[in-house]
Structure 1
Amino acid sequence: MNYNRRNFLKNTGLTAAVGALGMSQQPTLAHTSTKELVIGHNDFRYKVDKNWAKLTVNRTPLFNCHEMVQDQQGRLIMVGDHVANNILIFDKSGKLLYNWTLAFQGAHGLSLAKEGSEDFLLITDCGWYQDRSGQWKSQAGQVIKTDTNGKVIFTIGHPRTIGVYKDNEPFMPTETAVAPNGDIYVADGYGSDYIIQYNSKGQYIRHFGGKHNANPEHNLVNTHGVSIDLRDPKNPKVVCSSREENCFKFFTLDGKYLYKVELPGMYVCRAVFHRENLYAGVCWSKDKEGKQNWGDSGFVTILDKNNQVVSNPGGNAPVYQNGKLQTVFSTENPIFSHGHDVCIDEDDSIYVCQWNANHTAPIKLTRTV
């Protein structure tokens, strides 16, 4: 059976909810000259560089640029779903150092596992792919651990094979996160919406989330991303994007629900932590009338250490009324097409990977303040 990706999300009952937080912000910054565009709010403003990546499309074709991480050598590693180029490795100037592939049509998630001085990659194949006619199709997904040169270490397959999932529960993972002890958390964001915890060797520990908890606050709806929040070292947390609910939900490392941070209007991807801030790509947003905007409506959102939104580069300024964040939407002339992920380097520059963006390479945002 053929699937249209967006219709699939709608037909599985994934509907958005409007939420709230608390504080007020300054207006957005527009063009500073005819050649330079600066976006963002408050102390988080950025110069836009759409030509950062030095690529020749004929030699290094791209489809969707899904996610990016920075390794211990300072290189920027990107995952995409073009079968010839699942992994592209850049230096900070945008020069392509080398690339390789596992020939995955659904390569979607990328996380870094640091083991001493050595880096390993966790690559998520979500199972979504487009055939030659452009139709979206689906199959079971998988997670693969490799070294940075593409050598496969192990694979995590369908949880049904170890008796964790029922026969009617699909497995289409979107993301992984690695805890300090090496445990791997897999977000089944296009499947059954569980977070599945494995040890560093890929052995099952537990799963949580899903759609059938007695307390609906504990449910996850399109849990597209998962991350580990180490901003408070004594209280590490698992952060899950419940994208169709427009929020992040926070859990303990053993899966106990803590609280949620509501981001009305924002269909957020994974949380990325840098210093004391939380950054995320927003794949699309609601429009001013509160309707879901499937078009080129992506941007970036930045939260402070208290999980208050302080800037929305490419979106409208965050506004709080009576302690509640008002609906956030893209600017009228969008800078991004479906902000799928962000990577932040040591200079506080942001690299934005985009989905469904006409085969374009990541955009660099250089901090100006």
Structure 2
Amino acid sequence: MKNRRNFIKNTALATAAITTAPSFGFHLMKKPVLEEEIIGHGDYQYKINRNWAQIGTSRPLLNCHEMEMDSKGRLIMIGDHPENNILIFDKSGSLLDYWGTSYPGGHGLTISDEGGEDFLYLTDSGWYMDKSGKWIPHNGRVSKTTTDGKVLFDIGHPQTIGIYKPGDPFRPTEVAIGPNGDIYVADGYGMDFIIQYSSTGEYIRHWGGKDNTDTNYNLSNAHGVAIDYRDKDNPMVVCTSRNEQSFKFFSLDGRFIKTLHLPNMQVCRPVFDDTNLYAGVCWSQPKIGKTDWRDHTGFVTILDGDKVISNPGGTEPSYINGVLQKSYQLEHKPILHGHDVCVDEDKNLYICQWNANRTPPIKLQRV
């Protein structure tokens, strides 16, 4: 397989087209983006397909936030256009279905197989963009739905059960489902708590937030949450602490285990596949100068265990004396903002991008 990948990679590079793909950034690219461009490192290299999603102009997009593959092999995506929340693709990129206008701040999507049937857990982050381009706050929302959008139940504002004070914002960004069906909600744009509920929505506990005596429990922009099953005997809750450029690992009942620091990578949710952890990097900083959240500075990172082994769209990972050094976006910005990664059975990646000039997901075909 490795030799086959190397053959494909070398052939693609040798026959790369001279023509350039459209520039999707706000800034003038310093180098052309080749149509057959290969990004990534080691055995984790990919050919970019920017035209994978075949939606034409019929379905409006703002930001493509998250995507997962269901048991039928369909790729289900959530976005935040007020007229267009859910898009469903096949792996060729054809649009199979779309629905939903009830999640104008559509942000998180998790698929859970429960008794052989797929269900969606959707989060609305409590922010949406109006027609003038202004961000408007509203009430965040967490819903369990069928794959065709029937709402089974909502989880209410934490103030209703006494764990938030009046005026505390609830702006959830992500949900993870535990091995017994417990629901873990990341309030990543609100109070930075991870709130654990039973499978039917009854409150169990919460942790995280800020100002903890033990700073290991602090979360700063708790943007994502997922369950790490790589050690089947010891599954863990993995939480993004994006402003700390870290993932924090906890037991299923919220006991701190470890922090994994990723210098210069403001990562989104962790995505697990085999021994790998994948994550979109929404922001980074250049080697010289500074940028802000509006600038295109993202890429994708891939880990084997706890070690970074490839940065598609970024510089090659480097360790000195066992310590990961800073990674940077490639100068010509092949990926603008990595917001989520979906992995198929052939180990191809589908990248949802935030703030990418209303472009649909792109495919990274593994070579």
TM-score by length of 2: 0.90
For residues 328 and 168 of structure 1, the distance between their equivalents in structure 2, rounded to whole angstroms, comes to 39
What residue is the counterpart of 1:129 in the other structure?
128
What residue is the counterpart of 1:98 in the other structure?
97
**1:162-217 CA-partner distances (Å, limit 9, x unpaired):** 11111242111000111121111000000000000011111111000110210112
What is the identity, as a one-letter code, of the residue corresponding to 1:138? P
8 Å Cα contact 2:82/2:128 also seen in 1: no
For residues 201 and 43 of structure 1, the distance between their equivalents in structure 2, rounded to whole angstroms, comes to 42
What residue is the counterpart of 2:363 in the other structure?
364
Structure 1 residue 291: deviation in Å? 3.5
**1:226-245 CA-partner distances (Å, limit 9, x unpaired):** 00000001110000110000
What residue is the counterpart of 2:44 in the other structure?
44
1:143 aligns with 2:146: no
What is the identity, as a one-letter code, of the residue corresponding to 2:207? F
For residues 55 and 130 of structure 1, the distance between their equivalents in structure 2, rounded to whole angstroms, comes to 21
What residue is the counterpart of 1:304 in the other structure?
304
Percent identity over the alignment is 59
What residue is the counterpart of 2:155 in the other structure?
156
For residues 125 and 326 of structure 1, the distance between their equivalents in structure 2, rounded to whole angstroms, comes to 35
What residue is the counterpart of 1:213 in the other structure?
212
What is the identity, as a one-letter code, of the residue corresponding to 1:104? Y
1:70 aligns with 2:69: yes
What value does the CA root-mean-square deviation take over the aligned residues? 1.5
SS at match of 1:244: helix
Distance 1:262 1:290, change over 3 A: farther
Structure 1 residue 96: deviation in Å? 0.4
Distance 1:354 1:112, change over 3 A: same
What residue is the counterpart of 1:179 in the other structure?
178
For residues 227 and 289 of structure 1, the distance between their equivalents in structure 2, rounded to whole angstroms, comes to 34
Unaligned runs of 5+ in 2: 1-9, 18-34
For residues 212 and 46 of structure 2, the distance between their equivalents in structure 1, rounded to whole angstroms, comes to 41
What residue is the counterpart of 1:9 in the other structure?
none
For residues 260 and 292 of structure 1, the distance between their equivalents in structure 2, rounded to whole angstroms, comes to 26
TM-score by length of 1: 0.89
Give the stretch that moved more between structures: 228-237 or 79-88.
79-88
SS at match of 2:56: coil
For residues 298 and 48 of structure 1, the distance between their equivalents in structure 2, rounded to whole angstroms, comes to 15
What is the identity, as a one-letter code, of the residue corresponding to 1:308? K
What residue is the counterpart of 1:329 in the other structure?
328
What is the identity, as a one-letter code, of the residue corresponding to 1:45? Q
Matches within 5 A, 1:337-348: 337-348=336-347
For residues 120 and 303 of structure 1, the distance between their equivalents in structure 2, rounded to whole angstroms, comes to 28
**1:77-109 CA-partner distances (Å, limit 9, x unpaired):** 000111222111100000000100133210100
What residue is the counterpart of 1:222 in the other structure?
221
What is the identity, as a one-letter code, of the residue corresponding to 1:52? W
Distance 1:151 1:202, change over 3 A: same
For residues 105 and 99 of structure 2, the distance between their equivalents in structure 1, rounded to whole angstroms, comes to 15
For residues 140 and 252 of structure 2, the distance between their equivalents in structure 1, rounded to whole angstroms, comes to 24
SS at match of 2:315: coil
8 Å Cα contact 1:140/1:171 also seen in 2: yes
Count residues in correspondence: 339
Give the stretch that moved more between structures: 29-38 or 42-51.
29-38
**1:112-164 CA-partner distances (Å, limit 9, x unpaired):** 11112110000100001112221112122010110000000000121001111
What is the identity, as a one-letter code, of the residue corresponding to 1:155? D
What is the identity, as a one-letter code, of the residue corresponding to 1:224? H
What residue is the counterpart of 2:277 in the other structure?
278
Structure 1 residue 338: deviation in Å? 1.0
Give the stretch that moved more between structures: 31-40 or 85-94.
31-40
SS at match of 1:224: coil
- Where relative contact order (Cα < 8 A, 6+ residues apart) is larger, the structure is 1
What residue is the counterpart of 1:262 in the other structure?
261
